[in-house]
Amino acid sequence: MHAVKKLLFQFDTDSHPASFDTVVAYDGGADHVIGHANLTPDNVGPLVDGTIFTRAPKDKKNTAIFIGGSDLQAGEALLAAVTARFFADFRVSVMLDSNGSNTTAAAGVARIASSTEVRGKRAVVLAGTGPVGQRAAALLAKEGAQVVLTSRALARARAACEAMKRRFGVEITPVEAIDNAARAAVIEDAHIVFATGAAGVQLLEESQWRDLPRLEVLVDANATPPLGIEGVDMMDRGTERHGKICWGAIGFGTLKLAVHRACIAKLFERNDRVLDAEEIYAIAKEMAAA
């Protein structure tokens, strides 16, 4: 009898399934990855049906769904549409990681939590309206931090904070910060800074953070020069700089990749997992502590 293949269906909301997610899917243990692009709640139903009606109950755990794409809100809507098709034991495990939002945010916040006590601290997520920034802000808030999320446009910051309140029930403060000087003013009394801006965009100069007495931890998710936080190296792995603990994009990115692979593997353990921010963060914290 041949072994049942582990099939991962890659449901992407963009025009092409992300090659990054395909590679990590294979590295996480999938035997075959089948990619579908341009998926929406309106057209995903038949694909979901195909995953849940084909295999015997004992073999359903060998089919799983990964939801990706660049738009977090589109991914959340797709996840809701996918799980709405499930009933009784007609379901497969599914993971949401639009634009790496859950795995990257989970790894970064797990590294912060392993570096300092988060509860009661003031945390600032710079340029936080993207998928990673939104999820990082939410996870920090759920850890008990007082979180501020910045954007160059206050309306975008408010929209992101409102979206995270709807999803996680957390209060995050939106702040407009149009340039480095404005961002420097926002972090003056921060204990934690997590930079989640666009690739190649510097958000802080070294002189703007190095002498801050309350600042304990900096994390920069940008690996494309110029880095998001000047003075933090992309390879920093809990490196002390100016008395602060620093994590660079590659430094905590190794955990992000490990978490992503581990989550893929967990999809094939059972047929009823739903891996979203909270579940992925729990895995990241456990791996960070190991």
- Around Cβ 201, how many Cβ atoms within 10 Å? 13
The CA-based angle 179-182-183, given to 5 degrees, is: 85
User: Across residues 65-81, what is the average pLDDT?
Assistant: 96
User: Across residues 45-74, what is the average pLDDT?
Assistant: 97
Structure tokens of 110? 């797990």
Query: CA 128, 129, 134, 137: dihedral to nearest 10 degrees?
Result: 30
Do residues 106 and 280 make contact, with C-beta atoms less than 8 angstroms apart?
yes
Do residues 236 and 253 make contact, with C-beta atoms less than 8 angstroms apart?
no
pLDDT at 5 over 70: yes
pLDDT at 1 over 70: no
Do residues 226 and 197 make contact, with C-beta atoms less than 8 angstroms apart?
no
d(CA 53, CA 33): 18
Cα–Cα distances in angstroms (integers) from residue 87 to residues 25, 49, 162, 247, in the given order:
26, 11, 31, 43
- pLDDT digit string, tens, across residues 91-112: 999 999 999 999 999 999 999 9
Q: What is the mean pLDDT of the chain?
A: 97
Do residues 223 and 215 make contact, with C-beta atoms less than 8 angstroms apart?
no
- pLDDT digit string, tens, across residues 133-168: 999 999 999 999 999 999 999 999 999 999 999 999
Q: What pLDDT is stored for residue 290 in this prediction?
A: 86
213 pLDDT band (50/70/90 cuts)?
Answer: very high
Please state, for a pLDDT cut of 90, what percent of the chain lies above it: 99
What is the dihedral sign for C-alpha 222, 114, 275, 58?
positive
d(CA 124, CA 175): 10
pLDDT at 188 over 70: yes
The CA-based angle 201-149-11, given to 5 degrees, is: 75
Q: Which of 142, 143, 148, 105 is nearest to 123 (CA)?
A: 148
pLDDT at 273 over 80: yes
Structure tokens of 216? 């304990």
The CA-based angle 50-56-58, given to 5 degrees, is: 125
Q: What pLDDT is stored for residue 2 in this prediction?
A: 75
Please state, for a pLDDT cut of 70, what percent of the chain lies above it: 100
Question: Would you report the helix, strand and coil content of the chain in percent, each value rounded to 5?
Answer: 40, 20, 35
User: Across residues 76-97, what is the average pLDDT?
Assistant: 98
Give pTM, 2 decimals: 0.96
> Which runs of E-coded beta strand occur in 130-176?
146-151, 172-176
d(CA 165, CA 159): 10
User: Across residues 241-259, what is the average pLDDT?
Assistant: 98
User: Across residues 265-286, what is the average pLDDT?
Assistant: 98
d(CA 254, CA 206): 24
231 pLDDT band (50/70/90 cuts)?
Answer: very high
- pLDDT digit string, tens, across residues 43-55: 999 999 999 999 9
pLDDT at 192 over 90: yes
Query: Can you list the alpha helix ranges (DSSP code H) found in 28-153?
Result: 45-52, 72-84, 101-115, 131-142
